[in-house]
Amino acid sequence: MFLIIVLCLYVVGRVQGVSRPLVIGHRGAAYLPELTLAAQSMGYAFGADIIEIDVCLTRDNQLIVIHDIYLDGVSNVAEMFPNRNRSNGYSYVIDFDLEELRRLTIRERFRPFNGTQIFPLRFPSNSVIAFQLATLNETIELLLGFNRATGQQRQLLIEIKKPEYHSKYNKSISSIVLETLNAYNLKEPSDPIILQTFHIEELIHIRRNLGSKLRLFALMTWNRINESSSDYDFYRSEEGIRNLSNVIQAITPNLEFVVNYDSNGTILGNTNLTKWAHQNGLAVYPFTFRRDSFPGRSFEQLIQYFLHTARVDGFITDHPDVVLEYLRREMAAKDVIFIEQNSSSSLVSSMLILLFNMIMISKIIV
């Protein structure tokens, strides 16, 4: 009986060595208004390895967790401050102090000016529940508190929003982010903090001029979107990837940069991006995998393709629970295959060695 127990433990130990891709909860999780502490907490509860957030600066240099540089798509700012919008109709984070922003109610994302909910089947944007904006400090406290309470090591992926935009107001958002992190002694690559931005030259600045040792990820999208002045066509080329590998640890590209699609959303094949990244020691975490908005017919087939064929290192997703459930089923299937494969000569040999050692030990004891 003792021998059987030992053998079972041995096989289980071998099986548990199988790892899975990382799951990054995009803005927390899709089931509550984005980036609120509630949505972040739900992402952690679902089991996301990393929670992705965005930060912008207020007029009084406080770091607010919000995706856009304006407030109109997720809050009641038009009701609370009807005369604070600019000539284009938008109310910008940088025009408000933190105390003012604390008065706002955060809602599920909607289209400014007409109120149409972007994702109709998500949490109702007209709910009376008063969600609020969070600061970066509060988000860090949530992360550290969760890790302490659970004994786990979840991480935070912080997107620094539009450094070039902030610099026009004489604000170095990256410096303020680093100062905030330093106050929590979060400085090392082993700490549960990662920084990313679309302005790739800012990542170079953070590494070389600001001297940060934290892990850095490079966001990539289409040049035509004008997310920053960075030339993504160059940075996703073989030369560009090779140059970036001296500064960053991973790329976080639009998922359409990883595979080629036809006009119907059918995947035609892989690009070279993942291959070049891996050749240069960089991980690949594409964005954004949304169950309620994706190219093709089956969300599960999309995940399957990126996992097995595109061979990405993880998924940035609005639905971490769905992706994790799929990956768990995949890992369970791999466990079965692992045991079946190792019932061949390799496992038999290992078991024979173990049996021989146990016999020898028993002789010594006798």
Look at residue 64 and tell me if it is in a domain: no
Look at residue 248 and tell me if it is in a domain: yes
Location of structure tokens 């127990």: 5
Q: Which residues contact 298 (CB under 8 A, 6 or more apart)?
A: none
CA-to-CA distance for 52 and 316, rounded, in angstroms? 8
Here the CATH number for the domain that contains residue 252 is 3.20.20.190
Look at residue 237 and tell me if it is in a domain: yes
Domain total in the chain? 1
Active site residue 67: yes
Range of the domain at 229: 26-32+45-55+136-365
Q: Tell me, what's the pLDDT at 293? A: 92
Q: How many CB atoms neighbour CB 4 within 10 A?
A: 8
β-strand partners of 290: 293
Q: Tell me, what's the pLDDT at 349? A: 46
Nearest to 220 by CA among 205, 207, 202, 236: 236
In single-letter form, the type of residue at position 201 comes to: E
Q: Tell me, what's the pLDDT at 334? A: 75
* CA-to-CA dists, residue 194 to 166, 181, 218, angstroms: 20, 11, 11
CA-to-CA distance for 214 and 192, rounded, in angstroms? 9
Flag whether the pTM goes above 0.85.
yes
Look at residue 289 and tell me if it is in a domain: yes
Look at residue 179 and tell me if it is in a domain: yes
Look at residue 78 and tell me if it is in a domain: no
Asked whether 291 and 299 are in contact (CB, 8 A), the reply is yes
Question: Which residue among the candidates 67, 199, 205, 319 is catalytic per the annotation?
Answer: 67
Look at residue 219 and tell me if it is in a domain: yes
Active site residue 278: no
- Spans of the chain below 70 pLDDT: 1-18, 335-366
Question: Which residue among the candidates 26, 166, 199, 205 is catalytic per the annotation?
Answer: 26
